Amino acid sequence: MLDRKMLAALNDQVNAELYSAYLYLAMSAHFESMGLPGFASWMKVQAQEEMVHAMKFFNFILDRGGKADLAAIEKPKGTWKSASEMFGDALAHEEYITKRIHDLVALAAKVNDKATESFLQWYVDEQVEEEKSATDMLQKTKMVEKAPGALYFVDREAATRVFTMPAGVTI
């Protein structure tokens, strides 16, 4: 049985992960409008990964006998000045999500919920990757932004990213 505060925090995190998907979809749409389909595709893959993150929390709540409680998803920002500004926002968002995950781990420890602590370890590791991939894209786009030809090649490279469903997840 989940602790009441733990359940509420896990439900909040479902919302935060769905918002992440929404934010990256908004970025994908904006990249399309900038004529950068590779980055748009990269962001769409990112949004799919966020759906997986949300569904893993959702399924875990149900597996533990909790009630999933879905709140409204905040409207994300819709326009950015440049590719690097978008990846800068993506990195800041991932750092925020990392902090949220670490706070969840602290709460699970406080309420002595070993199962939730163990479940959250996947997210602790995943956030290292999330921050790394946003940082890599930020560095690349910053480097080439003043050279449209080079930006074109980075955009093409970004298009090669594909979504892979992690084992054992259904959405």
From the CB of 53, what's the least distance to ligand FEO, in Å?
4
Nearer to ligand FEO, 113 or 130 (CB): 130
* Closest separation in Å from C-beta 165 to ligand FEO: 15
In terms of Cα–Cα distance, which of 46, 26, 29, 25 is closest to 37? 29
Amino acid at 4: R
The whole-angstrom separation of Cα 107 and Cα 116 is 10
Alpha helices in 34-145 (DSSP H): 37-63, 83-110, 114-144
The nearer residue to ligand FEO, 17 or 113, going by C-beta atoms, is 17
Output the residue with the shortest Cβ distance to ligand FEO: 53
- Distance in Å, CB of 66 to ligand FEO, minimum: 20
Closest contact distance (angstroms) between CB of 91 and ligand FEO is 10
Nearest C-alpha neighbor of 150 from the set 85, 81, 83: 83
Residues at the site binding ligand FEO, with contacts judged by CB under 6 A? 17, 20, 50, 53, 94, 97, 130
Q: Which residue has the tokens 């590791």?
A: 125
